[in-house]
Structure 1
Amino acid sequence: MTPIWIQFDSSPTYFWITGHVLLAIFSVWLLLRRQPLSNGLFYTITILLTGFMRLPVFLFNYELDPDESQVLAQGLTLAVDPIIYQSVDPTTGGPLTSYFLAALAYAGVTLNFHLAHLLGWVITLISLFFTYHAATFLGLKKTAQWAMLPFIAFTGFIQLADFVSFYSETTSLFLLSVSLWFLAYWSTHKKFTTLQLILFGFLLGLLPLCKIQVLPMAFVVGVFAFIQLFLFQKSKMLRYGVVLVGSVVAVWGGWCLFLLSHNVLDDFVTFYIQANFQYKDALATANSRSPLLNFFRLPWVIIRGGSGFEWLFLPFCLLAFVFVVIVFFRKKSLRSLSLDSFFWLMIGAYLVMADIAITRTGSFYDHYNHFLFLPFLLLMSLFMKYLPTEARWIVLSTQVVFLVILVQKTLLHQPTNTYTHYPRNEDVSNAKVSSAILKYGNKGDYLAVWGWSCTFYVDTQMPQGVNENHTTRSAIKQPLQPIYLERYLNDLKRTEPPVFVDAVGEKAIWINDRSKYGHERFPILAKYIADNYTLKEELEDVRIYARNKKGNLTQ
């Protein structure tokens, strides 16, 4: 529960003003300094400022985004049955994030929404710090600290759930930031060690297991590592190349052996590779625009999106414009840029691949924009190195816009805080359903949900009795729907969950039409539920069924 000594209502005006004042003082001080701050002091102030402004989110113990409860439920389940694709299908998210949460659960950490909100902030900051440190290797420490200011403002003041929740994009961001740190280090030192290459190869091998969409960026990072080997260590390139490739192969060899030994390798290929490569927005309603058109539409989508990310995009665009004008039109010299030109070409390629990763499905989900954080931070650090000192004030634009929005909402008497100490209507509704579920099952029992309401797993602390904890791919017509449905039914027979919940209804997301997507619309599933379960309650547009003969417990 939220401590009684600190609660946030819908408009904590003095809290926001305090945050803006503190960040403004820090920003102006940093921009006026002749020398950058020490890394330790800079990190400490960044953590304190962003952590203070994230307090409403940290204290909010309810679901912020459906993907958040999805990954928490997967971690909760893997802590009980650690065989992926036997107990959990992480869909596009990949198994790595779920296993990370499972390790925390196994260590005794409760997987709730408090933890998820904290992890989203911690891992994002660590990723930014690694990227900042990569910039320092390239001689950009001072401008990198300036470039961090928009990210500090964004991290502290953003209200959209996509950027304060815990996603697999967040863990992908961490692995990518460490990879860029290695590449920047090698660009500066021009030498490699076997241990460094093994660690880098290990990270590279893990990236596709973190998020399927991260493959394009992983490809760029991997190719550039070999380019660096060719540029800096031609005489040892073959030996070092074998070490790097061997590390990647070792990760995937070990992973495939693990899957094969538990008879789920075919499932991994089908449900993670085949299914996700054919994945489209809303499955059956794929975006009609061509991928090429979507690629070029990304800036426009960000600008008009209204997510708040456009205010982080703003200083990047302004600095990029001034950089192009001064460098190319005024013929200003780029003397030192040539020393690191290959690295910046790689960042350009990375940015292109990030665009492809974000736009491929046509969904343009805001949380995919996490992939832009790292190249934006590095490029803004570079731009300011070649711009007049006055240009550094552009980085304050993000905070200025958030301040203007705060003043505007305050004058119009509109809420300024989404994450209050009191629950929303949907939180109260979900709590009622979760309480009812626990009448027929206990914490630690398996639970099966038909529909997309993964919050029930988290609220009850009941692991998944089925692989697919949000059944969009079983319910919506798509090429692999029969396979998903067959697996769902087999999971029910395998785990015999004491409680089955049909969450398809008007309050649900995506699959909310009971006449089309209710479990009774699928004959084989309907028969199994009718033969083995009894409807006990229907509340908040959710139907709760109890097993006629108590199902197997997970422990």
Structure 2
Amino acid sequence: VIKLKDSAYSSWCYFLLGLWLGLLPFAKFQTIPMGLVLALFLVFFLFKTQQWKRLLALIGGGVLPLLLVNGYYYHYDQLGTFWNDYFWSYYYYSFSTVHSKLETTNRFSPLTIGRFVFQPAATRVFWAVQVVLILTGVVQFLRFPARRVVVSRSVMGLAVGVALVSLYAVLQAGNPFDHYLLFLFVPSVVLAGFCSLYFSPKTFSSLWTVALLAIALEGVRNVVAFPLGAVPKLPKSDAMIRKAIQANIFPNETMTIWGYADRFFVYEHLPAGNRLPHSYWIYTKSPLQTHRQRELIDDLDQNKPALFMDAMVAPVSTIYVPDNVNYRHEKFPIIAKYVREHYTLVDVVKGARFYRRKKE
């Protein structure tokens, strides 16, 4: 991006760059804000310099993945599957309170940001260092705005924009999962590096020496404190569930699990009989709940899994099992009707129910 003024880049290079940006949403939906900032920066530059062919190549490459995916799903008459299971699913996840109790307006408060960023103990020093470097650079810029640095203002603005939208991307959903912070590592380091250009030589040397030493010590501590040891044995209840699965399924058959217990697919090396390894998205109230229940029925009807296990009971389902809500499959009429008509209860172990498919 920094070297776009080089006229040696052909339109094909811009097409491939657009293609890469267009593929970002299919790698991770959360990368869309970052991709948009990069795309807008490129579009602005090409528009400003009147490079129309390269601009069209960039836009064409950007929209091509979306057109190809929609064409593929349209060919199989499954266009609604893509938009409901991917686009609208992540839209409701990110821009509603369906999957997070935190109101949208509170997701970007300084308190929320601080709690989220400094929540993982393994990276607190790293983030503290980034904050100090960035804030020091901002103060120096405000004090000496005319100071010239080797990086242009446009590239500096791009770094700020990418860092801000990366922070936005990790906060938008309102779920403080530690792995979301991975989106912030590179943008924050780049921004901290650019901000450091406004330091005086003495400040630069002192701050970066302390910063690198602090991060190195944190890295050493994390390596030393890394948990080692044998893989823990399965809980007794898991062992009993595994025996029940093995007793009620034959080789080359598939299984569907109702609940949040997808670990049993791994334990038994069994393929899932439906497109989702757990049913969290199906029993959770959302605008897509009816659609997902119908999808489950379609999958059961098409794949005909030999075993249907209702694992929606603690401790078989390990998470998302509220005490005061019944999320058993029979609570949902369309699913209860299908299981009743096509499956027979053959075993109950630790509250988990095993249904064997009837011969048809």
Same fold by TM (over 0.5)? yes
Aligned pair in 2 of structure 1 residues 430, 447: CA closer, same or farther (>3 Å)?
same
C-alpha distance in structure 2 between counterparts of 1:512 and 1:284, whole Å: 16
Match of 1:334 among 128, 135, 148: 148
Is 1:349 aligned to residue 158 of structure 2? Answer: no
- For residues 357-376 of structure 1, what are the alpha-carbon distances to aligned partners after superposition, in whole Å with 9 as ceiling and x for unaligned? 22222212221111112201
Partner of 1:370: 182
Is 1:545 aligned to residue 355 of structure 2? Answer: yes
C-alpha distance in structure 2 between counterparts of 1:380 and 1:285, whole Å: 33
Partner of 1:344, secondary structure, is helix
Per-residue deviation, 1:345: 0.8
Greater helix share, 1 or 2?
1
- For residues 375-433 of structure 1, what are the alpha-carbon distances to aligned partners after superposition, in whole Å with 9 as ceiling and x for unaligned? 012123324444422222212223324556788xxxxxxxx44453222555x754653
Per-residue deviation, 1:456: 2.1
Per-residue deviation, 1:517: 0.4
| Structure 1: gaps spanning 5 or more residues | 1-182, 408-415, 551-555
Higher RCO (C-alpha under 8 Å, 6+ residues apart)? 1
- For residues 327-354 of structure 1, what are the alpha-carbon distances to aligned partners after superposition, in whole Å with 9 as ceiling and x for unaligned? 43366833323xx321221121112212
Per-residue deviation, 1:485: 1.4
Aligned pair in 2 of structure 1 residues 521, 254: CA closer, same or farther (>3 Å)?
same
Partner of 1:309, secondary structure, is helix
Aligned pair in 2 of structure 1 residues 390, 445: CA closer, same or farther (>3 Å)?
same
Is 1:519 aligned to residue 329 of structure 2? Answer: yes
Partner of 1:398: 215
Task: Indicate conservation of the 8 Å contact 2:149/2:197, yes or no.
Answer: no
Match of 1:314 among 128, 134, 137: 128
Aligned pair in 2 of structure 1 residues 246, 530: CA closer, same or farther (>3 Å)?
same
C-alpha distance in structure 2 between counterparts of 1:443 and 1:353, whole Å: 49
C-alpha distance in structure 2 between counterparts of 1:332 and 1:282, whole Å: 43
Partner of 2:184, secondary structure, is helix
C-alpha distance in structure 2 between counterparts of 1:431 and 1:506, whole Å: 15
Partner of 2:230, secondary structure, is coil
Partner of 2:264: 456
Letter in 1 for 2:268: T
Aligned pair in 2 of structure 1 residues 492, 405: CA closer, same or farther (>3 Å)?
closer
Partner of 2:295: 487
Task: Indicate conservation of the 8 Å contact 1:506/1:512, yes or no.
Answer: no
Task: Indicate conservation of the 8 Å contact 1:314/1:397, yes or no.
Answer: no
Per-residue deviation, 1:238: 0.6
C-alpha distance in structure 1 between counterparts of 2:208 and 2:40, whole Å: 33
Partner of 2:68: 254
- For residues 528-555 of structure 1, what are the alpha-carbon distances to aligned partners after superposition, in whole Å with 9 as ceiling and x for unaligned? 22332233343455333222338xxxxx
| Structure 2: gaps spanning 5 or more residues | none
Per-residue deviation, 1:496: 0.7
Match of 1:476 among 280, 284, 290: 284
Aligned pair in 2 of structure 1 residues 502, 356: CA closer, same or farther (>3 Å)?
same
Aligned pair in 2 of structure 1 residues 280, 249: CA closer, same or farther (>3 Å)?
closer
C-alpha distance in structure 1 between counterparts of 2:307 and 2:324, whole Å: 19
- For residues 149-170 of structure 1, what are the alpha-carbon distances to aligned partners after superposition, in whole Å with 9 as ceiling and x for unaligned? xxxxxxxxxxxxxxxxxxxxxx
Per-residue deviation, 1:474: 1.6
Partner of 1:536, secondary structure, is strand
Task: Indicate conservation of the 8 Å contact 2:258/2:329, yes or no.
Answer: yes
Per-residue deviation, 1:307: 4.6
Identity %: 22
C-alpha distance in structure 2 between counterparts of 1:249 and 1:280, whole Å: 23
C-alpha distance in structure 2 between counterparts of 1:509 and 1:291, whole Å: 27
Partner of 1:534, secondary structure, is strand
Partner of 1:441: 249
Partner of 1:342, secondary structure, is helix
Per-residue deviation, 1:202: 1.2
Aligned pair in 2 of structure 1 residues 397, 331: CA closer, same or farther (>3 Å)?
same
Aligned pair in 2 of structure 1 residues 201, 310: CA closer, same or farther (>3 Å)?
same
C-alpha distance in structure 1 between counterparts of 2:189 and 2:248, whole Å: 51
C-alpha distance in structure 1 between counterparts of 2:64 and 2:219, whole Å: 47
Letter in 2 for 1:321: L
- For residues 289-345 of structure 1, what are the alpha-carbon distances to aligned partners after superposition, in whole Å with 9 as ceiling and x for unaligned? 3336525445312355245333331221122233234443366833323xx321221
Task: Indicate conservation of the 8 Å contact 2:257/2:278, yes or no.
Answer: yes
Task: Indicate conservation of the 8 Å contact 2:97/2:104, yes or no.
Answer: no
Task: Indicate conservation of the 8 Å contact 1:466/1:491, yes or no.
Answer: yes
Partner of 1:321, secondary structure, is helix
- For residues 430-466 of structure 1, what are the alpha-carbon distances to aligned partners after superposition, in whole Å with 9 as ceiling and x for unaligned? 4653454233335653221111222222333322222
C-alpha distance in structure 1 between counterparts of 2:18 and 2:238, whole Å: 43
C-alpha distance in structure 2 between counterparts of 1:328 and 1:484, whole Å: 53
RMSD: 3.0
Aligned pair in 2 of structure 1 residues 314, 443: CA closer, same or farther (>3 Å)?
farther
Letter in 2 for 1:505: V
C-alpha distance in structure 1 between counterparts of 2:227 and 2:261, whole Å: 21
When normalised by structure 2's length, the TM-score is 0.85
Aligned pair in 2 of structure 1 residues 546, 295: CA closer, same or farther (>3 Å)?
same
Q: How does 1:114-193 map to 2 (within 5 A)?
A: 183-186=1-4, 189=6, 191-193=8-10
C-alpha distance in structure 2 between counterparts of 1:280 and 1:229, whole Å: 32
